[in-house]
Amino acid sequence: MYIKNLQIQNYGPINNISLNFEFDNNSYPIPPLIFLGKNGTGKTLLLSFIVDGLIELKRSKYGKLQEVEENQFFKIGKKDYIKASKDFSYVNIDFETYGKILSYTELVTNLSFSAFNSNYSAKVFLNFDVNENLFQEHGFYKKTSPINEVNLYTNAIAH
């Protein structure tokens, strides 16, 4: 499983990061990728979203997990982490495995649903459904693409 692209907006110290990873002619990633930065610049947050995405994709396939207790999350978005003076934080990661794209998306807002909808209705958030009840009621959205047709090993987060 490879990360095809990653986008994070307004989360903690991260204003906006959008990474599209390169692959060679045989569809293998061009290594290496190294995240460097001073303390407090978002390296750990970025990695935690990647791990959470992998765990949530595995949960959507298998239900019960060894990595996280039932009805628990490895990582949950917090309104406290929305960048100061911003209304939302947004994360989208696309993974590729066996030629299929699997997505992990998280959107958190500190606005009411009606205020968010009127301020950002024209903005495109990939893999986001504004009609999701949890988002409308509490301002939290976390979803993975369905992966029933994709083979994942049951004893690994990623392979």
Q: In terms of residue numbers, what domain contains 137?
A: 2-144
Please check whether residue 96 lies inside any domain of the structure. Answer: yes
What number of residues does the chain have?
159
Collapsing DSSP to helix, strand or coil, 5 comes out as strand
CA distance 53 to 68: 13
Residue by residue, pLDDT tens for the chain (159 residues) are 889 999 999 999 999 999 998 888 887 778 767 889 999 999 999 999 999 998 888 888 877 777 777 767 777 778 999 999 999 999 999 998 877 899 999 999 999 999 998 998 768 788 888 778 888 898 998 888 876 555 554 444 443
Asked, for residue 97, whether it belongs to a domain, the answer is: yes
**pTM for this entry:** 0.84
Tell me if 48 is assigned to some domain: yes
Is residue 150 a part of any domain in this protein?
Answer: no
* Residue 98 within any structural domain of the chain: yes
Q: Is 108 among the domain residues?
A: yes
- Coil, helix or strand at residue 4: strand
Q: Which amino acid is located at 110 in the chain? A: N
In a domain, 56, yes or no: yes
How many domains does the structure of the chain reveal?
1
Can you give the CATH number for the domain in which 97 is found?
Answer: 3.40.50
Residue 152 lies in a domain: no
Q: How far is CA 122 from CA 103, 125, 130, 140, 146, in A?
A: 21, 9, 12, 19, 26
- The residue with tokens 């392979």 is 159
* d(C-alpha 51, C-alpha 45), whole Å: 10
